[in-house]
Amino acid sequence: MGDPGSYYSRQLKLPGWGPEGQAQLARSKVLVVGVGGLGCPALEALARAGVGTLVFCDSDKVEASNLARQTLFSAYDTGKLKVEAAAAALARSNPHVTLEPRAVRVDESNVRALVEAADLVVDGSDSFTTKFLIHDACRSAGKPLVAASAHQWDAQVRAFDFAGGPGCWRCLYSEVPEDGCVGTCADEGVAGALTAMVGSFQALTALRMLLKLETETLAEWVIDAADWTPRVLRWKPDPACDCSRGPGDWSWLRRKSVNKDLWWKDIGKEERQVVIDVREPFEIQPGEWEFFEKSGSQVEHFPFTRWAFTQPEWDTGRTYLIVCAHGIRSANALKTVPQGVRALSLAGGVAGLELR
């Protein structure tokens, strides 16, 4: 594997980086949303720079149409989960970092846990809905965000330091534009050389923010490949915007939070802090609760026959996974979980798990 010191020798000489900066990066955890045209080059640069832990989310599989720009994949990867193919490529690039591939789509049910667990977020997602969700979650969590969009020959990169005072994307756009209003890359195309540059620039900005080096925020770098003059759009915080209240308010997420059924492989540890088993005592087999406990969840037992009378003391700061034999009672129990509680139902139930 070689010595990490020699691996990083060139960047250690950079002003503002050095061994302390390298140690700071090694302690950092970055969440990358979307392993596509932007996420691939961003992940590659962050891994090679030595960011200690990289969490990356994408539920898609590699398709032939991805290969012209998604630089972590080769033609041999088509049909594989993007996060698995990316993890294999990144592990070859730098064996000294920890990789946490997650085959999930980031949505209302998991965004808070994912963002809160990270030191910085890089958004390479491809829809306005997801971009605003991630932006709003970073703002509530007070976590720095580097976001970007690319479309045909144009791209924009934005950076926000939500721990550093007011100002956000919603100061400019109070409403989420409709998905598809500017056309998607699938419909209208995008240049791979452009996404490679933009994803790398996101990584560069993320590294500077982690290293606490001067970085422009509340600004959008606007690139038009037809014109060699990049433009920068700067704006001031809007005192009427929600961001003026600072981080900590998650009420917007509780209002839109959707609880749903998911398969075990799609459920992250942070989404199942507590497993609620709603089966009757006679259905529970030895080893089943140990499976959940060994996977990092606490187990509580509330049989479905008494569910109408006895439920857990729900805590909106925790995440719950309700389980039964086949996922039918748990789905019904989920419907009665109070608004604001983050809970999932295990699709397929305990019968669908490979317990050993």
Residues designated as active site? 185
Comparing CB distances to Zn ion, the nearer of 19 and 165 is 165
- Which C-beta is closer to Zn ion: that of 218 or that of 278? 218
CB of 169 to Zn ion, least distance (A): 7
Neighbouring C-alpha atoms within 13 Å toward the C-beta of 99: 21
17 burial via Cβ count (<10 Å: 0-12, 13-18, 19+): buried
Binding residues with Zn ion: total (CB under 5 A) = 5
Q: How far is the CB of 170 from Zn ion (least distance, A)?
A: 5
> Cα–Cα distances in Å, from 318 out to 238, 314, 342?
33, 8, 7
CB closer to Zn ion, 18 vs 246: 246
Minimum distance from residue 237 beta carbon to Zn ion (Å): 6
Q: How far is the CB of 155 from Zn ion (least distance, A)?
A: 22
Give the span between the Cα atoms of 268 and 199, in whole angstroms.
Answer: 25
Contacting Zn ion within 76-105 (CB under 5 A):
none
Footprint of Zn ion on 162-181 (CB under 5 A) = 168, 170-171
Query: By C-beta, is 163 or 355 nearer to Zn ion?
Result: 163
Look-up of token digits 């900066």: 21
**What letters, b where the CB count within 10 A reaches 16 and e where it falls short, cover 71-104?**
bbbeeebeeebbbebbbebbeeebeebebbbbbb
Q: How far is the CB of 245 from Zn ion (least distance, A)?
A: 10
138 part of the interface to Zn ion, by CB under 5 A: no
Question: At 214, phi and psi to the nearest 5?
Answer: -55, 125
Binding mask 237-276 for Zn ion (x = CB under 5 A): ----x-x---------------------------------
Complex with Zn ion: residue 30 or 171, whichever CB lies closer: 171
Binding range to Zn ion, per CB under 5 A, among 70-78, 161-169, 175-183, 252-260? 161-169
CA proximity to 144, closest of 207, 85, 84, 97: 207
Q: If you count them, how many residues does the chain have?
A: 356
Hunting for tokens 């600072």 — which residue is that?
246
Phi, psi of 98 (to 5 degrees): -95, 130
User: Is 303 exposed, middle or buried, given 0-12, 13-18 or 19+ CB atoms closer than 10 A?
Assistant: middle
Residues lying near Zn ion in the complex (CB under 5 A) are found at 168, 170-171, 241, 243
